[in-house]
């Protein structure tokens, strides 16, 4: 029995008068593939930023990889990888320069970083492009590089915030293959946020968020079984009383 990878209790965040996240109680297990599903504006990104110590909670707290997000920000950040919704790569630097920059920020010595960079680039199909500037890469390859950057320091928990936003279907498919292979080879805990319902289907468990509140939590098959419906979209409707696309009460 290992400790939970993520444990949030009563976690909440206000931006001025806007309650972005109400009170979230959540446990994500070690090596779990956890989906965080909700319409735009449900509070998904706010949650990720709270767990990644980029925001300070307005109430409640959370532990990530065993450390308190409010007290041990550095320890948490050392053990997590975060792939943001929008790319954070430096477009003017080459593929390998971006990874070296990240390696130095995460305090990886050269002898550790270089073999990892080589391995990730070949694993992610970027080997032939390593000396090209990032601006020359397609959206799909940039996303792959974002993820390579996110796992370079071998985190215990990887946050993927809407990783497929803006990608065409083929790039999306190859990204999912990449993430699946990565999970199988490393046993990494993956916390995925998405507003594409079908992307949450392969998750071990999903939490459905609506207007800053948790509407449902469980394995996709169980949730569908309980509600007697065939899709997570219908689960959402059954639990919240309004269709998925109308969400965004915040």
Partner 1 sequence: MGARAVYGIVVREWLRFLRQRGRVLSSLARPFVWLIFAGAGFAAVFAGRDAIDYRVYMAPGLLGMVVMFGALLAALSTVTDRDAGVLRMVLVAPIRRSTIAIGKALAATLLGTVQTLAVAAVLLPLVGLRPTWDGALLALAGIVLSSLATGSLGVLLAAGMRSIENFAGVMNFVVFPMLFLSGALYPIGHLGPVLHVLTYLNPLAYGVDLLKHALLAPWTGAGYGGELRVALDVVALVGFAVVGLAGATPLLAREGGVTRAAFRERA
Q: What residues line the site for partner 1 (CB under 8 A)?
A: 15, 18, 20, 40-41, 45-46, 49, 52, 54-56, 74-75, 77-78, 80, 82, 84-93, 97, 100-109, 149, 248, 250
We find the least distance from the C-beta atom of residue 72 to partner 1, in angstroms, to be: 10
Q: Which is nearer to partner 1, 25 or 86 (CB)?
A: 86
We find the least distance from the C-beta atom of residue 229 to partner 1, in angstroms, to be: 27
We find the least distance from the C-beta atom of residue 105 to partner 1, in angstroms, to be: 4
Dihedral angle over CA of 166, 171, 176, 179, nearest 10 = -90
Q: Which is nearer to partner 1, 80 or 121 (CB)?
A: 80
We find the least distance from the C-beta atom of residue 55 to partner 1, in angstroms, to be: 5
Q: Which is nearer to partner 1, 109 or 228 (CB)?
A: 109
Q: What are the residues whose beta carbons fall under 8 Å from the beta carbon of 237, sequence distance 6 or more? A: 229, 243, 244
Answer for the pair 56, 70: CB distance below 8 angstroms, yes or no. Answer: yes
Q: Which is nearer to partner 1, 35 or 155 (CB)?
A: 155
201 vs 150: CA distance, rounded Å: 23
201 vs 120: CA distance, rounded Å: 27
We find the least distance from the C-beta atom of residue 84 to partner 1, in angstroms, to be: 6
Identify the three-state secondary structure at position 192. strand
Phi-psi region of 166 (alpha: psi -120 to 50; beta: other; left: phi over 0): left
3 state SS for 85-125: CCCCCCCCCEHHHHHHHHHHHCCCCHHHHHHHHHHHHHHCC
Answer for the pair 162, 194: CB distance below 8 angstroms, yes or no. Answer: yes
Query: Residue for token digits 């806007």?
Result: 18
We find the least distance from the C-beta atom of residue 79 to partner 1, in angstroms, to be: 8
26 vs 9: CA distance, rounded Å: 7
């Amino acid at each position: 029995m290992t400790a939970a990878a993520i444990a949030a209790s009563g976690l909440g965040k206000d931006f001025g008068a806007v309650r972005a996240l109400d009170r979230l109680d959540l446990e994500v297990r070690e090596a779990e593939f956890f989906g965080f599903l909700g319409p735009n504006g449900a509070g998904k990104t706010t949650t990720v930023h709270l767990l990644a110590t980029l925001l300070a909670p307005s109430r409640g707290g959370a532990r990530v990889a065993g450390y308190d997000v409010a007290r041990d920000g550095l320890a948490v950040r050392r053990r997590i990888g975060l792939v943001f919704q929008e790319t954070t790569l430096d477009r003017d630097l080459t593929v390998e320069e971006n990874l070296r920059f990240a390696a130095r920020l995460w305090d990886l010595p050269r002898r550790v970083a270089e073999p990892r960079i080589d391995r990730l680039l070949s694993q992610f199909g970027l080997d032939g492009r390593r000396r090209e500037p990032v601006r020359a890469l397609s959206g799909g390859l940039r996303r792959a590089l974002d993820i390579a950057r996110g796992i370079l320091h071998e985190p215990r928990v990887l946050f993927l915030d809407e990783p497929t936003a803006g990608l065409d279907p083929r790039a999306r498919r190859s990204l999912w293959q990449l993430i699946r292979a990565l999970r199988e080879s490393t046993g990494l805990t993956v916390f995925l946020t998405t507003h594409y319902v079908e992307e949450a289907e392969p998750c071990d468990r999903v939490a459905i968020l609506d207007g800053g509140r948790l509407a449902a939590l469980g394995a996709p098959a169980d949730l569908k079984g309980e509600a007697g419906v065939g899709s997570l979209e219908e689960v959402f409707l059954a639990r919240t009383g309004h269709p998925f696309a109308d969400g965004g009460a915040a």
